[in-house]
Structure 1
Amino acid sequence: MNKCVAFAALALSASMACANGLDTLETFLKSTKSGRADFTQVVTPPAKAGQTTVRSKTSTGQFSFMRPTRFRFDYLKPFPQVIVADGQTLWLYDADLEQVTARKQAQALGSTPAALVATAADLSALQKEFSLEAQADADGLQWVQATPKNRESTIQSVRIGLRTDGAQVSLSKLEIFDAMGQRSVLSFERFEVNPANFGAAQFNFALPKGVSVIRQ
C-alpha cells in the first residue's frame, strides 16, 4: 500500500470512528428515557508545586435519571450526600453539615455533566450547550468529548464513555475536567436502561428534620 492510499485509509477510519461515536451518543440520548446504576467516583486534584504524588478521593453511590428534567445522585460512602433535580429545584443535601442548598434547576444545570447524560433529549439539544467531538474507541468504549460553550462554566471538558450491547447503549464512564485542573472519573456499573416501575416520585426530595436550608 503506497503512502497516499494508506493516508486515505487512515483518514476514512478516523472519520468513521467519529461518526460512530456521535451516532452512539445520539442513540443513547434518544432511546434511554430513564436509567439507574451504581457508581464509583474518583476525584484527583491538580498537583501543587513540588508535589510528586497526589492523593485521590473515592466515593460510591447510586445514580438515576428520568428525562428530561429529573436525576439524583445518592452518595453512600465515605460520607452520605444527596443531589436531586426534581424538575424545578436542584437540591444538595450534606448529612454531615446538616445543610441543604436549593437552587432553581433551570439556572443551575446548563453546561454541567448532568445535562450531558440526564436531561438532553437529543444531540441537537446538547449542541446548544456543548461543542461535541468524537474520539478514538478505547477500553471497549466509544468516546465523545464535550466542551461547554459558556466560557464562564466551571467545567473545562467532559469525556463520555459509552458501551454498546447489540442495539442497546449504556453509560459506562464520565471523565470530568474542571477549570481548576481537577479530574473526576465516574464509573458506572449494573446500568439499567429504561427500568420498569420507575416514576417521577423517586426524584422528590423530602427535607430532613432539623437541617438548615440555603436558597440561592
Structure 2
Amino acid sequence: MKLMKSLAVMGAALMMPMLANADEQAAERLTHLLEPLKTYSADFDQQILDGSGQRLQEARGHIWLSRPGQFRWEVEAPYRQVVVSDGQNVFLHDPDLEQVTIQPLDTRVTHTPALLLSGKASALTENYDVSRQQQGTTETFTLLPKSPDTLFEDLKLTFRSEALRGLQMSDSTGQRTAIAFSDVEANAPIESSRFDFQVPEGADVIQEAH
C-alpha cells in the first residue's frame, strides 16, 4: 500500500508540469485568437438560467466592440437597454425609465467581462487560469479567476472555426448567463460614433463612482 501511495504521489508530481504547460498552451491559443480581433460586431441571444437550468430571463440584441475598451451593447427585446463604453466611462441607458447611469470604466477584467474582448488579451493570463477543450472546429476555453474578488466563478468562451460564437458566465449562486453570437463580423470598420453616448434630453442622470 505504501508503494502504491508513493507511486500515486510521484505520478501526481510528474503531472503538475504537464498541466501547467497545458494551461500555458491554452492561454497562448486564446491570446492568439483574441489578439488580432480589433473590432467585433454580432447579433446575440442571451439567456439567464438558475442553478437547475430553468430559464429566468432571455434577451436579444446587437453588440459592437472596438479595442481597446470600447463597446456598445444594445438589447432590443423584450425591453430596450443600451450599454456604451467610450473607453473611459460606461453609460447605461434605460429608455423605459428615462434614466442614464454613468460610471467610470472598471478596467479589472474580472469585473467587466466585456473587457475580455475589448481589452488586452495579455490580461487573460494575468487574471485567469485558462483551460481548453476542442471538438472538431469548436474550441471552448474555460477561465477561472485567480482573484476571489470577482463577479463570477467561471467564464467560457466558445469559438467555431476561430470565430467567437458564445460566452457563458456562472456566479457563486449557480446562476448562468449564456450568450450566443450570430451574423459575426470581425475586424470590419465600425464608426467611432457607435461609442459616443449623448444623454437624451429629459433623462434622469445617476453618476456613480468606483
Question: 2:150 matched to 1:153?
Answer: yes
Seen in structure 2, the aligned counterparts of structure 1 residues 149 and 15 have a Cα distance that, compared at 3 Å, is closer
Once superposed, which parts of structure 1, at least 4 consecutive aligned residues long, lie more than 6 Å away?
14-20
Question: 2:83 matched to 1:83?
Answer: yes
CA contact (8 A) 2:69 2:115 kept: no
Seen in structure 2, the aligned counterparts of structure 1 residues 15 and 82 have a Cα distance that, compared at 3 Å, is same
Query: Offset at 1:108?
Result: 6.8
Question: 2:62 matched to 1:46?
Answer: no
Distance across 2 between alignment mates of 1:162 and 1:188: 10
> What SS is found at the alignment partner of 2:141?
strand
C-alpha RMSD of matched pairs (Å)? 2.5
> What SS is found at the alignment partner of 1:46?
coil
Question: 2:65 matched to 1:65?
Answer: yes
Query: Offset at 1:22?
Result: 3.8
1:179 counterpart residue number: 172
Alignment gaps of 5+ in structure 1: 1-10, 48-52
Give the TM-score normalised by structure 1.
0.78
Seen in structure 2, the aligned counterparts of structure 1 residues 193 and 153 have a Cα distance that, compared at 3 Å, is same
Percent of aligned pairs sharing the same letter: 28
AA at the equivalent of 1:153 = T
CA contact (8 A) 1:111 1:148 kept: no
**Aligned counterpart for 2:126 among listed residues 125, 128, 136:** 128
Structure 2 counterparts to residues 84-123 of structure 1, below 5 A = 84-106=84-106, 110-120=110-120, 122=121
How many positions carry a matched residue from both structures?
191
CA contact (8 A) 1:34 1:193 kept: yes
Give the TM-score normalised by structure 2.
0.80
AA at the equivalent of 1:36 = S
AA at the equivalent of 1:39 = F
Alignment gaps of 5+ in structure 2: 1-14
Encode CA deviations 1:110-141: one digit per residue, 9 max, x unaligned: 53321212212x3x32222222222x224842
2:12 counterpart residue number: none
Query: Offset at 1:87?
Result: 0.9
Query: Offset at 1:18?
Result: 6.5
1:31 counterpart residue number: 36
> What SS is found at the alignment partner of 2:179?
strand
> What SS is found at the alignment partner of 1:142?
strand
1:170 counterpart residue number: 163
